[in-house]
Structure 1
Amino acid sequence: MANLSPKARNTRGSLLEAARSELLEQGGALEVSRVAERAGVSVGLIYRYFGSRAGLLAAVAEDYYDRYQARVMAADPLPESADWCSREEQRVLRAVQFVYGEPLAALVLVSLAREPEVAALEARCIADNVRQGADNIRRGQAAGQLDAALDAQLVSAMILGGLHQALLEALGRTPRPPAEQLAQQLWHFIRGALAPL
């Protein structure tokens, strides 16, 4: 959607915001007519921008994953540090804080993931994150800070799978485990996955 005019980008953003609000208020349910009413536009405008209800849901999920990517995966949490483990421990804390602070996290990761378009988007995002994680592990190996014998791609997939499941478990609890405590437990798990065989 990079070729949209500023006005069209604003309209699209307003529609996404209306959809997010509707999803939160309705516990994951979304009716296009209610989103249009909330945004003060015609239903047809939603179809013009997103093609379908499923396209709108996928756009909401894509926005979530884009923000996760920017704040967690692509960001360097400790740019002044050359210590791979210290930096990645901080990245784990950022991941937990992002998910805990994101009202849509539970919906995107559970309810919306049942929608085929959202599931396909999630699969692409996970594959990208596994690749990024593997590249990151290889940087740690090249710096001599991680065991060179580790299969970076497999270890990245294991770590991200464990992280995802642990976050789902934590989101479903009342009360949730404190973010710092969960991050510490996750980092302990990750350190084990990175240990020499």
Structure 2
Amino acid sequence: MARAPIGRQQLLDAARDELVRGNGVMELAALTRRAGLSTGALYHHFGSKSGLLVAIYDAFYDGLAHAIADTHLPAGADWGVREHERTRLFVTYHFADPLAPILLNRTAPDPQLTELEAVYIQNMSDNAADNIRHGQTLGQLPADLDPDSAGAYVIGGLRHGIAQQLRTTPSPTPDQATEHLWRLTAATLGTA
């Protein structure tokens, strides 16, 4: 595996920390001080502050896609069992990443990030729709369910549901949040 160029990963780590500390606000001076690098290093590696934020968003959503991939699901299980596990993985990923509440509860501070996030959400919704079609083919979901609308609804519901769970005091455990959100998802899809 190739190593990231010196300074790049330091900036990414420092930027994530600054975003969490600043509740979504990142000051360049604090960032470069935390990373122990110059502003020039930021521009060298990312081209701009927006480029750095894009790299952070990309890493978050790429990590999410990996975390919920089919390879992490029980082989041979029926559709509902697999998707319950995928929901658990989705929730656990968000609960484990301190950046998740910021990404889910705040509007992206940059139009480029808003567009990037929309692409990731659309991809997740499309994947969910394909997955729902598969459940219909197996006869485990109602045939009259519109997969595209249901996929978008499920992804939107999960994202907003997790955001709400992360704001709750005291915070539920990931397992409690999973059960709550799976119950709503299963009812929406007609598997309850």
TM, length-normalised to structure 2:
0.89
Identify the match of residue 20 of structure 1 among 16, 19, 24.
16
1:46 Cα deviation (Å)? 0.6
Counterpart check, 1:61 vs 2:33: no
Given that residues 7 and 41 in structure 2 are in contact (C-alpha distance below 8 angstroms), is that contact kept between their aligned partners in structure 1? Answer: no
What is the aligned partner in structure 2 of residue 30 from structure 1? 26
Task: For residues 35-85 of structure 1, give each alpha carbon's deviation from its aligned partner in whole angstroms, at most 9, with x where no partner exists.
Answer: 22222222112112222212212221221111111102x244433233010
What is the aligned partner in structure 2 of residue 122 from structure 1? 117
Q: Superposition pairs for residues 35-54 of structure 1, below 5 Å?
A: 35-54=31-50
C-alpha change, 1:75 and 1:18, in structure 2 (3 Å) is: farther
In the alignment, the residues of structure 2 paired with residue 157 and residue 94 of structure 1 have an alpha-carbon distance, to the nearest angstrom, of: 18
Give the count of matched residue pairs.
Answer: 190
Residue identity (%):
37
In the alignment, the residues of structure 2 paired with residue 100 and residue 162 of structure 1 have an alpha-carbon distance, to the nearest angstrom, of: 16
Counterpart check, 1:82 vs 2:89: no
Aligned-residue CA RMSD (Å): 1.9
Gaps (5+ residues) in structure 2?
none
Q: Superposition pairs for residues 128-139 of structure 1, below 5 Å?
A: 128-139=123-134
Please list every run of at least 4 consecutive aligned residues from structure 1 whose deviation after the TM superposition is greater than 4 angstroms.
none
In the alignment, the residues of structure 1 paired with residue 107 and residue 51 of structure 2 have an alpha-carbon distance, to the nearest angstrom, of: 12
Q: Give the SS at the match of 2:105.
A: helix
Given that residues 76 and 87 in structure 1 are in contact (C-alpha distance below 8 angstroms), is that contact kept between their aligned partners in structure 2? Answer: no
In the alignment, the residues of structure 1 paired with residue 19 and residue 134 of structure 2 have an alpha-carbon distance, to the nearest angstrom, of: 40
What is the aligned partner in structure 2 of residue 177 from structure 1? 172
Identify the match of residue 191 of structure 1 among 177, 186, 192.
186
The answer to which of 102-111 and 23-32 deviates more is 23-32
